[in-house]
Structure formats: structure tokens, C-alpha cells
Amino acid sequence: MGIAWHRFSAFFNIYFKREDDGGVALGAVRPMMSAGKPLDFEEADPDTDVFGAGKIEDFSWKGWLDFTTCTECGRCQSQCPAWNTAKPLSPKLLITSLRDHAYAKAPYLLAGGRKDMAGDEVGITGDDAEAKLAKIDALALAEAERPLIGGPEEMGVIDPDVLWSCTSCGACVEQCPVDIEHVDHIVDMRRYQVMIESNFPTELGGMFKNLENKGNPWGQNAKDRLAWTEGLDFEVPVFDGELAEDVEYLFWVGCAGAFEDRAKKTTQAVAELLHMAGVKYVVLGPEETCTGDPARRAGNEFIFQMLAQQNVEVLNSVFEGREPGKRKIVAT
């Protein structure tokens, strides 16, 4: 399709961007969706719900619009830290590869073709199945056999090294003149690879285990979350089960702020500023756990939802009895 088509679809792509306020889709990753609504694992049905994107047809209509709208200007590629450090990921080529695959597979999908997780045809069945398949272009049938994620020997649409090179920083999304949301699509593909295929870099296995068992990516003990307070010339107030009336803020330290040596300096600086300004605050200390964002960006939505629910319960207990407008959190 020519540039005129891109100009036409760009209007709709910008209008239907994820953020209602018109902002760029940065910050929090989009929730995992199924049937047009966020998927809650406590209510998920493995027989009907879709866990990420394992096939091109698993992407939402907005994903297909994104793929179609790409103008191939290359701004996303020029700003991508993965591409600029000789990694195989090009956000532009990723989107155009998905677009080309979608267009090539479209005749098969329009004819009602659909495969189950085992790769068996379940869309075109019956006595006349062979006749229906014979009417579909051979290239479309061949495209239907390609895995969405796979190496050159598997004829995959997206190479695994490309998928896992993304840092999810959002530079591509910020630079895109037509508001394509690259990171959301990358995370959706990761979700399927992690939760359905169990196919992900070995390094992530340790992180997932640490998040699930220890509540932080490095596997540190919860009691060490206050180690950053050592050496300060004032006492850092710790939540003891009841929030005093004069406490205005909960200081959310975070995993890096509690355990990573360089980030600890930032945490200490913020605590010193709060102390010098006379701000009444508390930290959770051992009660704090990871937000789960690293798991979500790596595709493990299950661990994210587990940690998120745990944090919701903790925060509700901390602010119990307080009006919503007086529940204040400061984070580094």
C-alpha cells in the first residue's frame, strides 16, 4: 500500500490511541486483554480466553491498525537503544514484518481458517474442507503455517532474539508520528511465549522465581529492605501496623531503592529531604514487596497480578479509615 493509505489510516490510529487524554502510551504497560476486556487470572477460562498473542489474529483490531499505519519513516529505529547497541531489534522492521504477515495470511483468515494450539485446523472442517482449502492461495496457506515467534529454521515471523532485545523503554512509541504502540504488541507476544510456550531467556527464570518467592528480582530477604537506612543521622519511621494521624505520606522505596547500591543513595537523599522539610512519613520496610512491573514487562502477567493484589491489600490496610484524598504516596 502506498503512502496515501498511511496518511488516511494515521488519522484513525491517532484518534484511537490508548491514552484518553491524548498523551503518548508511555508508562504503565497495557493490561492483558481477552475478548476486549482486562483478563483476571482468578476468572480466566483457558478454553476461551487468549493469553497474549501467539498468532497474528490474536492481536486486537488496534494492533492491526497499528501495523497498517506504519509509514516506515524509521524514527523509532533511530531512537531504539537496542538497535543502537547492535541488537537485532528494529521497531520499524518488527511492525512491518507483522504487517506483511497479516496481509499474506488474510485470505486464509477471511476464508474462516483457524488453528488450535496444537497446530491442527479447526476453522475449515467438514466434508468440503479440502475443497475450501484448495481455493485459498498457496502463499496464504504457507503463511498460515508460519509461527509468529521462531528462528530462521522455523520460518518464524519474529525472531526470538528480536522479541527479547526490547527494553520496553518506549522511545519508539514516543518518536512515532502516527502513535503506533510498539511496546504493547511486544509485551503481548512475550506473554504468550512465557505463559503458554514457557519459552523465554533462562535469565528470566531466576527473576520470576525471586519475584514469586522473595518479592524482589534479586532474591534478597525482606528484612534487608531497611539496610539503606544504615548510616543516616536520623531515624527513618517504619509502619508498625497503624498509621498515626499526623503522618502525611507513605514513602514507597521500591526494590532498586532498597537493594541496589547506586539507587540507595537516591533513597537516602529523598529521606533526608523529607526529614529536613519536617514532612511526616513512614516506610513499609519488610512489608513492602515488588510492584510486579518487571514480571509484566517480561510477559509473566500471572506473577504481576499476584504481586499487584498483594500490594493492594497492604496499601488498603495501611490507609484503612482514611479518606481517599488523604491517602498520599511518594516514590523515588
pLDDT tens string 225-235: 999 999 899 99
> Residue 53: left (phi > 0), alpha (psi -120 to 50), or beta?
beta
Share of the chain above pLDDT 70, in %: 96
CA distances from 148 to 99, 145, 151 (A): 12, 9, 10
pLDDT of residue 187: 97
pLDDT of residue 249: 95
Residue 117 has pLDDT above 80, yes or no: no
Mean pLDDT of 53-66: 94
Please give the grid coordinates belonging to residue 126. 467438514
Q: Which residue has the higher pLDDT, 117 or 195?
A: 195
Q: How far is 314 from 298, CA to CA, in rounded Å?
A: 24
Please give the grid coordinates belonging to residue 11. 488519522
> Residue 328: left (phi > 0), alpha (psi -120 to 50), or beta?
beta
What average pLDDT does the structure give for the chain? 91
pTM reported for the whole predicted model = 0.89
Q: What is the pLDDT of residues 81-100, one digit of tens each?
A: 999 999 999 999 999 999 99
Mean pLDDT of 303-321: 94
pLDDT of residue 3: 54
pLDDT of residue 20: 62
Mean pLDDT of 54-72: 93
User: Of the spans 1-5, 45-49, 105-109, 130-134, which averages the highest pLDDT?
Assistant: 105-109
Mean pLDDT of 196-208: 95
pLDDT of residue 2: 53
Mean pLDDT of 178-194: 95
User: Of 89-98, 134-143, 248-257, 279-288, where does mean pLDDT reach its minimum?
Assistant: 134-143
pLDDT of residue 307: 97
